[in-house]
Amino acid sequence: MSSSTSKFARYRQALAAISTRTGTPLPSLILSFGIIHEITAIVPVVGIFYGAKSFGIGERVVSAVIDENQQHTGGDENYSYAKQKMRTWVEEGDRWAIRIGRRYGIFGYEKRAPGVVDNVEEMARATNHIAGDVANAVVAYGATKVKRLLLVQREDVTERVHLV
């Protein structure tokens, strides 16, 4: 038990220092962080979803990403890596849309009965075509992943600049 206490001692000290510096109680800081984190995570997904739905871009983007037969001129290996990474995000987004869609009865999925456990992997394999709201949800999921990736890379570059 003492090893887990020592693991978190640094974090407790840092949080206590922030609380003291700002004059804000620690529970209030944690609650504020949680609320802001959820808002910045959920609002972009909802906004991008409705934007993709309004402009009808969900199916076009998803089909362009997962199309194996699409030809690319030039042997750019970065293109291949990017397409593979986007395909992975589309597959993750499809599984996410199935889980959320079945839980709440949205994206064209039937709401599951309480206590029923879905085999999301089997459902993802059974549906070879991602269409409509599912495609828009997948685009929203993927776009937020790209946004997070870009933010992390920008923070990494900023850290390196400050270290020099």
Position 129 scores a pLDDT of 55
pLDDT at site 1:
47
Regions in the chain scoring below 70 on pLDDT: 1-5, 68-79, 125-131, 148-164
- Closest Cα partner for 126 from 98, 147, 159? 98
- Beta-carbon contacts of residue 134 (< 8 Å; ≥ 6 apart): 58, 94, 97, 98, 101, 107, 108
**Amino acid 107: pLDDT:** 78
| Confidence at residue 23, expressed as pLDDT on a 0 to 100 scale | 92
Pair 100, 107: CB distance under 8 Å: yes
Where b means 16+ CB within 10 Å and e means fewer, 22-38 reads eeeeeeeeeeeeeeeee
The pLDDT of residue 20: 93
Sign, CA dihedral 116-50-108-128, equals negative
C-alpha distances in angstroms, 3 versus 9, 10, 100, 108, 140?
10, 12, 37, 48, 41
CB 57 within 8 A of CB 135: no
Give the pLDDT score at 116: 83
CB 140 within 8 A of CB 61: no
Q: What pLDDT is recorded for position 28?
A: 92
- What integer pLDDT is reported at residue 141 of this predicted model? 82
How far is 69 from 83, CA to CA, in rounded Å? 12
- Give the residue extent of every domain in the chain: 47-163
pLDDT in tens, 127-140: 555 667 888 888 88
